[in-house]
Amino acid sequence: MRRASFDDLDCSVAHTLEIIGEWWTPLILRDCFLGVTRFGDFQERLGIARNVLTTRLETLVEHGILKKVPYQDNPPRYDYKLTAKGRDLWLVVAALREWGDKWESPDGPPVSMIHKTCGHTTHIVPTCADCGEELSPFDIALKRGPGAKANTPVVA
């Protein structure tokens, strides 16, 4: 019922949630970015039911976000590794973390991000790919893009 409605929404936010919106999936991706690759490690860290974890991992594999790399033949066992498409979800996961750090962590951030290149504790500043200035919702506009359809959501 909900999924049917989502199919009708020609919107990249909806398309993305179709794949990664299920509650556990962003946390599985979080662990992928932390270097976790094995079923048992995901299961232990997240305390997630095995059948739920199996379904979520297979969905991520089907959509090309994770790939299965065999590390044992008998019985067959796999590492689940991020593809380029999967690594591209980093900003989504990082933005979720930073918002929680700022607004829902009264004792301070549980985890700090270090920029290895400069060595400092840091956070993300979103900038314009064209001019390099900082981007905010106040100085952007949205217009119908090249893939717009009749049902593409537009500015109110």
Among 31, 39, 53, 68, binds a second copy (CB under 8 A): 31
Question: Within positions 132 to 151, which residues make up the interface with a second copy, using CB under 8 A?
Answer: 132-133, 135-137, 139-149
Question: Within positions 59 to 78, which residues make up the interface with a second copy, using CB under 8 A?
Answer: none
Q: How far apart are CA 118 and CA 67, in angstroms?
A: 32
- Report if residue 54 touches a second copy, rule: CB under 8 A: no
- Report if residue 27 touches a second copy, rule: CB under 8 A: yes
The count of residues interacting with a second copy (CB under 8 A) is 99
**Given the complex with a second copy, which of 4 and 74 has the nearer CB atom?**
4
Angle at 71 between CA 35 and CA 65, to 5 degrees: 50
69 CB burial (10 A radius; 0-12, 13-18, 19+): exposed
CB 68 within 8 A of CB 62: no
Closest CA to 92 of 35, 20, 6: 20
Q: In one letter, which amino acid is 52?
A: V
- Report if residue 51 touches a second copy, rule: CB under 8 A: no
CB 18 within 8 A of CB 8: no
Among 72, 75, 76, 103, binds a second copy (CB under 8 A): 103
Binding span for a second copy by CB under 8 A among 40-48, 53-61, 72-80: 40-48
Binding span for a second copy by CB under 8 A among 53-61, 72-80, 95-103: 95-103
